[in-house]
Structure 1
Amino acid sequence: MPPIQRLVLWNIDHTLVDVGRVTREAYADAFRRVTGRQLVTLAPTAGRSESEIIFETLAFNDVITDDDHLPKFIAALGDAFRARYRDVRAHGRVLPGAREALAASARLPGAVQSVLTGSIRPNAILKLTELRLDQYVDFEIGGYGSESYPKSALIGLARSRAAEKYVEKRFGLPIGEPVTVLIADSARDVQAAQIARVKVIAVATGTANEAALRSAGADLVLPTLADTQTVIRAIDHFTSPSAT
């Protein structure tokens, strides 16, 4: 397995794909299974981990939580998505330029791609698999929303996994950590990248507009991923050895 020089991390929802309808239905189903009640209010989802969304959703709906609620809800949410896998393909969509950007980024010398997402792992894999984007990413080294509360910690986790799998070692220590860039759509993702000290390319395809993403401190802001050459030039620049 060749060593890598670049790690490209992609947020999923509203960066690569839009599966909002299926997500809302799955949350309503999981909430009903766990609480026996109808979901009234879903917490904001932009830039948040699944764990965070679940806790806030339970609070917004006046559910007194205990230690069992989170694992039960995560399991129910996975089941709800799995039951709707056909709906992901039927009602979900790949956002403009996402497929082309993933394919082109995969061809950069020394690059490996994965996901940095608030979604739990099985749902992240299902979304990209059903929309036929899975061939471009290594799910094994990604960071997922059921693993850690802050996304900045997920970035560190993904980098550690990439180093463990791909980076050449000598005397048990990694040689030449890969330079990392995150592509995402929310101000919270931008802040997570800053905390983790990695570059971030922000796209205004979620709830945040370009001005909000610039204000959050993104290294580059794009309206969409549609301009493949601009996206790839930015990834190449931010993951070059001089970017460290």
Structure 2
Amino acid sequence: MPELVLWDIDHTLMATRGLGRDLWAEAFADVTGTAMRQQASVTGSTERVILRETALLHGIPYTEDLFAAFAEALGAVHVRRAAELRERGHASPGAAEILAELSERGVRQTVVTGNVRAAAEVKLTAFGLGGHMLWSEGAYGEDGEGRPELLRTALARAGVQGSAAVFFGDTPADAVGGREAGVRVVAVATGRASAMELRAAGAADVLESLSDVPAVPAAVGV
């Protein structure tokens, strides 16, 4: 049985149904004073990378101070609009049952996400999914630029070897990142990538969704 299960958030455990871009644009305007005309690709990326590339698209110099201010603003926007998130977004079918099942079996769980921590906590709490997470053992957008770096950070915080962990994600970047960090990846084909693309990227197992609740513990190895 693995010691730790690590979860991606967006399109794995939940979806914002387009609201995420609105919240991001609001924080961007708050910090830069510039309305967002275009956003860099977000799939499989982290907030630091997305901000740097989006700032470049608008001719705005990127600095770490800018990112720190943006991270704070993005967290605050999620807190302000949490009720709207609950109304427009949704938890992935089966997510709540699976998190509860793994907790009952004694499996530690946390998140590895490109979201800043404050936004991650609001997103999962909005749908009743946050109570199963050991937040201090996770890794967030503040912690690095790519999945391998974030996964290694979470493993170090949890005191767990990569071989004793399983990572759930929905993008090829998740699968590649898991392989580079030595973590077995179970991919969920609920994002933009197909099951074939996720397998080609290195996912050990691919589930069509989390709705087949009994299949998940078997994929995890519990």
TM-score (norm 1): 0.85
Aligned amino acid, residue 118 of structure 2: P
CA distance in 1, matches of 2:101, 2:63: 46
Matched-pair contact (CA < 8 Å) for 1:143–1:158: yes
- Structure 1 residue 146: Cα displacement: 1.2
Matched-pair contact (CA < 8 Å) for 1:187–1:216: yes
> Structure 1 residues 24, 8: CA separation in 2 closer, same or farther (over 3 Å shift)?
same
Q: Quick one: percent identity of the two aligned structures? A: 35
CA distance in 2, matches of 1:160, 1:74: 23
TM-score (norm 2): 0.93
Aligned residue number for residue 208 of structure 2:
223
Unaligned runs of 5+ in 2: none
Matched-pair contact (CA < 8 Å) for 2:23–2:77: yes
- Structure 1 residue 38: Cα displacement: 1.2
CA distance in 1, matches of 2:146, 2:3: 23
Matched-pair contact (CA < 8 Å) for 1:7–1:112: yes
- Structure 1 residue 28: Cα displacement: 1.1
- Structure 1 residue 105: Cα displacement: 1.6
Matched-pair contact (CA < 8 Å) for 1:88–1:131: no
> Structure 1 residues 232, 37: CA separation in 2 closer, same or farther (over 3 Å shift)?
same
Matched, 1:36 2:33: yes
CA distance in 2, matches of 1:149, 1:50: 8
CA distance in 2, matches of 1:146, 1:98: 25
- Structure 1 residue 22: Cα displacement: 2.6
Matched, 1:8 2:16: no
- Structure 1 residue 67: Cα displacement: 4.2
CA distance in 2, matches of 1:177, 1:153: 12
Matched-pair contact (CA < 8 Å) for 2:2–2:220: no
- Structure 1 residue 186: Cα displacement: 0.3
CA distance in 1, matches of 2:11, 2:162: 29
2:90 paired residue among 69, 80, 93: 93
2:125 paired residue among 126, 129, 140: 129
Unaligned runs of 5+ in 1: 168-175, 238-244
The C-alpha deviation readout for 1:72-119, integer Å capped at 9, x for no partner, is 21122112112111111111100111111111122224x100011111
Matched, 1:203 2:188: yes
Aligned residue number for residue 145 of structure 1:
141
- Structure 1 residue 5: Cα displacement: 5.4
CA distance in 1, matches of 2:177, 2:163: 18
